[in-house]
Chains A and B, each alone.
Chain A
Amino acid sequence: MNKVEVRLFASLRKYHPSTEDSDAFVLELADGAKLGDLVEKLKIPRQEIGVLMANGKWQKEDYSLKDGDRIGLFPLIGGG
């Protein structure tokens, strides 16, 4: 099993698995699980996601999760 730390931002916060107001939560996934599996487990529609990050770097859904990864999921974000 891999334990990863997940953060959901902006409009994706509604997919937070608990109603607690905490920023980060830990998810356990089977060995070999990909980032796409994590998205599916959280039931986040793919079209709502703009940016997927693992450890501060862009990754795609085929990224293989590792124990201790820090994952951030965002909708499309802009500002300036």
Chain B
Amino acid sequence: MSKILRVNMTDQKVKSEDVPEKYRLIGGRGLTSAITCDEVPPTCHPLGPNNKITFAPGIVTGSGAPTAGRLSVGCKSPLTGGIKEANSGGIASDKLARLGIKAIIVEGQPKDKGKFWVLKVNKDGAELMPAEAGWLGNGLYEAYPKMLKKFGEKVGIISIGVAGEMLMSMAGICVNDPENRPSRYAGRGGVGAVMGSKGLKAIIVDETGGSSVSLADSEAFNTGRKKLTDALRQHDITKPGGTLNTYGTAALVNVINEAGAFPTRNFSSGRFEGASKISGETINETCKKRGGVGATGHRGCTGCIIQCSNVYPKEDGTELVSCQEYESVWSLGANCGIDSLDVTGELVRLCNDYGLDTIEAGATIGVAMEAGLAKFGDGKKAIELMHEIGKGTPLGHILGGGAALTADTFGIVRCPTVKRQSMPAYEPRAIKGIGVTYATSTMGADHTSGYTIAPEILGVSGKMDPASKGVEKAEASRNFQYATAFIDSSGHCLFIAFAILDIPSGLEGMVEECNGVLGTNWTVDDVGRIGGDIVKMERAFNEAAGFTNVDDRIPEFMKYEMLPPHNVVYDVPDEVLDKVHNP
């Protein structure tokens, strides 16, 4: 019997509630967004007592479905001021689902500022206990082993780092990977600061005695699981030995760079001369050459059959970090003019340690470099700036507030944000459709919320000219935003999209798995409808929080600064942007 845990941090009481009928057929992002919309006043202060933060596994998480271990974290964002869902892999979500927990809602605020608790969840229920001194104020590479020692090696840990404790807007929420590294993140939008504002350091999930999610229709589920598994094993991007498995997400570095859309030195160029040195190919070769613990095709999340993670070794073969992702080697690499994986690896490790979103962190250092705090390419100085954040110095607090706050502080016009959230690793001037998504997503600039890169650059799910700027881009972005909201609710990793967009039976399989768990009769035609309802609900929250279509815009500098090598500006008309949500 699934349940919702309600954790009141004002009086440190935990209640178990039945799942209301209206939440029965949703999960993941659909559920976190519904709870945020139903229970959080849109105009509340994101770090005040009236915001709530919700954690939810997806519909099929914990069922044995492939690549379905995602955790959704939802709240009002201190970075954007709008609704937020950040999404993580790792091992905790599967455990929550196996304990029958559909969501954990954390509300209220303790009277004692600076005091932190840990929520322990197991088959018997949940309880809050004071966080031990050694878990606080330290990096997560130090805190995780201490928490594991206390709670056992097999627990899932959902925790903030010092950045979350200090309520910084670029603080993420960390989940341990299968080898218990603090390395998988619900990174974006400052969800870690909201968790910190509740005085909640960590959620410890002990699934001992739990069981697989119950199935309403096991035949439908098994049929669906097989179809999806077959599609994932067949598609060149997701199959064993395929692109993601061999090169990781950083396989994208070269293709986006070649397309002239790889943001370089704070979005001043679309091509980075050092791109190949930080590419997935180089990660793969270095892992082989240095040996030791180095590995590609590493599994970062429970039940994943794609396995796109890596463990990047130092020269002596010992571990530098897991994982060097595309977004991270871009933000902390090319965007800062840095062409060394040893430096990006160290910066990623610091983000993991302090509890930071690597995208926002790299974009912020890029802005700081533009402001003269360091020279582009100066890895040593970038590491020092990261330590400022970790130490919580006054400068560190400014940087920890993200790219927009840093740009405001230092008078930088070239600030690559939408709704104050930094753009990820695709230049909208060179790939217009992803700019439509950045502008109109309910989340602020976010590639995952409507990944038009697939047809615009990768030739997945058809082909679309990246330079076109008509209504077809609004339609493509809308369709991707809707489909993504469904996948984010299913509990599947968004990377299944590469296979299911090209292989129709894979898409059917995902829907049939959901039917198998829920007892619904959805078809593939319901995906867009259900996802669309989620996006519309999120957008209504943002409107009530004060957002209008004027907020759905790309930063002005991109409309008059030409981006090399194609020498293009962002010229998608506002009317096209407005058509995404008003077709």
Contact = CB atoms under 8 A, between A and B. Distances in A.
Interface of A: 7, 9-11, 13, 23, 50-51, 53, 56-58, 72, 74-80
Interface string B20-53: 0000000000000000000000000000000000
Contacts of A75: 236, 243
A77 B326 contact: no
A80 B426 CA distance: 10
B334 to A, nearest CB: 14
Given A23-B276, A50-B236, A10 B254 contact: yes
Contact of A78 (B258, B279, B465, B498): B498
B529 interface: no
Contacts of A53: 255, 258-259
B281 A78 contact: no
B426 to A, nearest CB: 10
Interface in B226-262: 235-238, 243-244, 246-252, 254-255, 258-260
Contacts of A9: 254-255, 258, 279, 281
Contacts of A51: 255, 457-459
From B247, B249, B279, B565, name the one whose CB has the most chain A CB atoms within 10 angstroms.
B247
Given A10-B246, A10-B247, A75-B236, A80 B281 contact: no
A50 B460 CA distance: 9
Nearest to A54: B258
Given A13-B281, A78-B498, A7 B457 contact: no
List 4 A-B pairs, minimum CB-CB distance, nearest first: A79-B249, A78-B237, A79-B252, A56-B260
15 contacts: A10-B247, A10-B251, A23-B276, A50-B236, A51-B458, A56-B259, A72-B255, A77-B243, A77-B255, A78-B458, A78-B498, A79-B326, A80-B326, A80-B448, A80-B495
A54 B238 CA distance: 26
B280 interface: yes
Contacts of A11: 243, 246
A76 B459 contact: yes
Contacts of B376: none
B451 interface: yes
From B246, B308, B458, name the one whose CB has the most chain A CB atoms within 10 angstroms.
B458
B327 interface: yes
A80 B447 contact: yes
A10 B253 CA distance: 11
Interface string B450-475: 01001001111001011000000000
Contacts of A77: 237, 243, 251-252, 255, 458
Nearest to B252: A79
B566 interface: yes
Nearest to A74: B255
A78 to B, nearest CB: 4
Contacts of A56: 258-260, 271, 565-566
B238 A78 contact: yes
Contacts of A78: 237-238, 243-244, 251-252, 454, 458, 460, 495, 498
A45 to B, nearest CB: 13
B79 interface: no
Contact of A80 (B249, B254, B280): B249
Nearest to B254: A9
B494 interface: yes
Given A7-B258, A76-B459, 20 more contacts: A10-B243, A11-B246, A23-B276, A50-B236, A51-B458, A51-B459, A53-B258, A56-B271, A57-B259, A72-B258, A74-B254, A74-B255, A75-B243, A76-B235, A76-B237, A77-B255, A78-B458, A79-B243, A79-B326, A80-B249
Contact of B251 (A7, A57, A72, A79): A79
A6 B270 CA distance: 19
Nearest to B465: A58
A50 B458 CA distance: 8
A7 B458 contact: no
Given A50-B458, A77-B243, A7 B326 contact: no
B112 to A, nearest CB: 40
